[in-house]
C-alpha cells in the first residue's frame, strides 16, 4: 500500500492511494472463508459450500467492500499523520493502472478541503467596551407613554391629517422611468404619520391631506436598501387617502394599569415593573454588544483562508436573507471564519453544552407564546431543534470564555444610545 499527499490549491488536498493486489487478495480470502462457514445455500450443508461458488456469488461485493474500507482507513491514517481536519467529504476518483477492474493493484485519488490552522492571539491586553446604563425616571416615563400609545383609540375626522394621526391609504408606486416594481402597491394600509415605517419623507408628504384626497409622493430609496434592485432609485407613489383618524390616549388609571397585567393597578407598581423590564432588556442588549465586539476582534485579528465548499454553502444559505448580492460573499466569509475560530476555542477549552442553559434557552423562547409549556415540550421533542439550541449555547459559552480573558472597560451609555448601538449592530 502506497500513499502520497499534495496541496493542489488553497486548502484543497489530494491524496493518492495505491492498494496492492496482494493486500486486497489476502483480505478477500479471509472474508470469503468466513462467509463459507456461515452462508446457507440450498443443496449444501453449512460450512460445506464450495469455495468456487462462494467466490462466484460474493466475490465482486466482497472486493468492493475490501477496497472501500482499505481506502478509507488509508486516508484516515494520512489525515492523522498530517493533522488535517476534513472540511468536506472526500471525492474518490479511480486512477487508471491498466487493471483497476481486474485483480491487480488499484489506485485512487481522494480530493478534499481541510480546515485552516488557527493560532489564537493572546487576549489579556485586548480591551472590550462594556456599556453601563443608568435607567432614568424619564426612561420609565417614555415607556409609560409608549404603552399608552399602543392602546390608544382612533377616531375618524374630516380634518387635515397631522403628525401622529393615522391614515388609511391605497398606493401605487413606479420608478423614475414609470415602471412599476414588486411591493410597490398596497390597499387599506394603515400608517401613523411620523412613525417612520415608510422610507424617506413618504409620511411627511401626507401631512395636511384630507379624507378622499389623492396625492403624489416622491421618495428615494436608501443606498443600503435591502432590495438591491431598488437601492438609490427615485420612485413616485400615487396615494389615495381613504380616511384620517385622531388618536385618543387612555387615562393612566387603575383599569388601564390592570389591563397591562399589573394586578395591583397602581402607578407605582407599574413603574417598578417597567424599570425591571428595562433592566432585563438592557442586560440582553449589553450581552449582544459584548458578543459583537468579541466576534469583530476575532475576525479582524485572525484573518483566515476559509474552505471554498463551506463558503459556497453559507452563501447559498444567506442568499434569501435580503443581503445585497455584492455583500453576500463577505458576510458568508465572516460567518464561516467565525465558526472556525469559535470552534477552536470550544475545542481547546473542551466546552460542553450546559444542559441547564439549554433548558433555560428553550423556556425563554417559549415564553413569547400563549402556552409556554406546550411550546417548550414541542421544541424539546425534536432532536434537530435541540441540537440547534445546543450550538447556540456552546457559541455563547465560547464568547463568555473570551470575555473572561480580555479587559472590560466600563463605558456609560444613555438608554437611547444603547438601543441605537444595537440597531447599528444588526445593520
Q: Are residues 318 and 233 in the same domain?
A: no
Rounded-to-integer distance, Cα 307 and Cα 154, Å: 57
CATH number assigned to the domain comprising residue 92: 3.30.70.1050
CATH number assigned to the domain comprising residue 282: 1.10.3120.10
Q: Are residues 210 and 90 in the same domain?
A: no
User: How far is CA 245 from each of CA 16, 157, 167, 189, 239, rounded to the nearest angstrom?
Assistant: 76, 6, 6, 13, 17
Q: Note whether residue 204 is domain-resident.
A: yes
Rounded-to-integer distance, Cα 193 and Cα 206, Å: 8
Q: Note whether residue 378 is domain-resident.
A: yes
Rounded-to-integer distance, Cα 177 and Cα 175, Å: 5
Q: Are 230 and 167 in contact (CB under 8 A)?
A: no
Q: Are residues 206 and 290 in the same domain?
A: no
| pTM of the predicted structure, to 2 decimals | 0.75
Q: Note whether residue 182 is domain-resident.
A: yes
Q: Note whether residue 118 is domain-resident.
A: no
To 5 degrees, how large is the angle CA 80–CA 84–CA 88?
115
Residue 63 structural domain: 2-113
* pLDDT at 421 (0 to 100): 64
* Residue finishing a domain among 212, 232, 248: 248
Q: Are residues 331 and 370 in the same domain?
A: yes
Q: Are residues 177 and 39 in the same domain?
A: no
Q: Are residues 393 and 279 in the same domain?
A: yes
Q: Note whether residue 355 is domain-resident.
A: yes
Contacts of residue 276, Cβ cutoff 8 Å, sequence gap at least 6? none
* Residue finishing a domain among 222, 248, 274: 248
Q: Are residues 263 and 234 in the same domain?
A: no
Q: Are residues 93 and 14 in the same domain?
A: yes
162: DSSP letter: -
Dig out the grid coordinates for 91 from the structure.
471525492
Q: Are residues 317 and 411 in the same domain?
A: yes
Residue 240 has pLDDT above 90, yes or no: yes
Element (H, E) at 4: strand 2-9
Q: Are residues 199 and 261 in the same domain?
A: no
Q: Name the 3-class secondary structure at 133.
A: coil
Q: Are residues 222 and 268 in the same domain?
A: no
* pLDDT at 204 (0 to 100): 95
* pLDDT at 54 (0 to 100): 79
Q: Note whether residue 135 is domain-resident.
A: no
Q: Note whether residue 158 is domain-resident.
A: yes
pLDDT tens per residue, range 21-65: 888 888 888 888 888 888 878 778 777 778 888 788 888 898 899
Domain count, the chain: 3
What's the distance, Cα to Cα, between the start and end of the chain in Å? 55
pLDDT tens per residue, range 325-361: 888 999 999 999 999 999 999 999 999 998 899 999 9
Q: Are residues 312 and 174 in the same domain?
A: no
Amino acid at each position: 500500500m502506497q500513499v502520497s499527499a499534495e496541496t493542489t490549491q488553497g486548502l484543497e488536498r489530494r491524496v493518492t492511494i495505491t492498494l496492492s493486489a496482494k493486500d486486497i487478495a489476502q483480505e478477500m480470502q479471509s472474508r470469503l472463508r468466513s462467509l463459507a462457514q456461515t452462508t446457507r445455500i440450498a443443496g449444501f450443508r453449512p460450512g460445506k459450500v464450495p469455495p468456487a461458488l462462494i467466490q462466484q456469488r460474493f466475490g465482486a461485493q466482497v472486493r468492493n467492500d475490501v477496497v472501500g474500507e482499505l481506502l478509507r482507513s488509508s486516508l484516515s491514517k494520512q489525515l492523522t499523520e498530517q493533522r488535517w481536519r476534513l472540511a468536506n467529504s472526500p471525492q474518490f476518483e479511480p486512477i487508471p493502472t491498466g487493471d483497476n477492474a481486474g485483480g491487480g493493484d488499484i489506485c485512487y485519488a481522494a480530493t478534499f478541503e481541510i480546515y485552516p490552522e488557527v493560532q489564537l492571539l493572546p487576549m489579556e491586553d485586548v480591551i472590550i467596551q462594556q456599556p453601563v446604563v443608568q435607567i432614568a425616571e424619564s426612561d420609565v416615563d417614555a415607556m409609560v407613554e409608549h404603552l399608552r400609545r399602543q392602546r390608544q383609540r382612533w377616531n375618524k375626522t374630516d380634518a387635515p391629517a397631522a403628525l401622529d394621526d393615522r391614515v388609511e391609504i391605497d398606493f401605487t408606486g413606479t420608478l423614475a422611468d414609470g415602471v412599476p416594481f414588486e411591493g410597490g402597491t398596497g390597499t387599506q394600509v394603515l400608517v401613523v404619520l411620523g412613525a417612520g415605517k415608510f422610507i424617506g419623507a413618504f409620511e411627511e408628504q401626507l401631512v395636511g391631506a384630507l379624507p378622499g384626497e389623492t396625492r403624489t409622493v416622491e421618495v428615494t430609496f436608501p443606498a443600503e436598501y435591502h432590495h438591491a434592485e431598488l437601492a438609490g432609485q427615485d420612485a413616485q407613489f400615487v396615494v389615495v387617502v381613504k380616511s384620517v383618524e385622531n388618536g385618543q390616549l387612555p387615562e393612566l388609571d387603575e383599569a388601564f394599569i390592570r389591563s397591562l397585567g399589573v394586578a395591583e393597578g397602581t402607578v407605582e407598581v407599574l413603574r417598578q415593573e417597567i424599570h425591571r423590564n428595562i433592566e432585563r432588556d438592557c442586560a440582553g442588549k449589553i450581552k449582544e454588544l459584548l458578543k459583537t465586539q468579541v466576534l469583530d476582534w476575532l475576525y479582524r485579528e485572525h484573518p483566515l483562508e476559509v474552505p471554498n465548499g463551506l463558503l459556497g454553502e453559507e452563501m447559498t444559505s444567506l442568499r434569501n436573507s435580503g443581503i445585497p448580492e455584492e455583500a453576500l460573499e463577505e458576510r458568508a466569509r465572516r460567518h464561516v471564519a467565525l465558526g472556525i475560530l469559535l470552534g477552536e476555542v470550544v475545542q481547546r477549552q473542551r466546552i460542553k453544552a450546559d444542559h441547564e442553559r439549554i433548558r433555560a434557552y428553550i423556556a425563554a423562547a417559549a415564553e413569547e407564546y400563549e402556552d409556554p409549556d406546550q411550546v417548550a415540550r414541542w421544541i424539546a421533542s425534536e432532536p434537530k431543534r435541540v441540537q440547534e439550541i445546543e450550538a447556540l449555547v456552546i457559541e455563547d459559552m465560547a464568547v463568555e470564555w473570551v470575555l473572561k480573558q480580555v479587559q472590560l472597560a466600563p463605558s456609560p451609555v444613555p438608554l437611547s444610545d444603547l438601543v441605537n448601538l444595537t440597531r447599528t449592530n444588526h445593520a
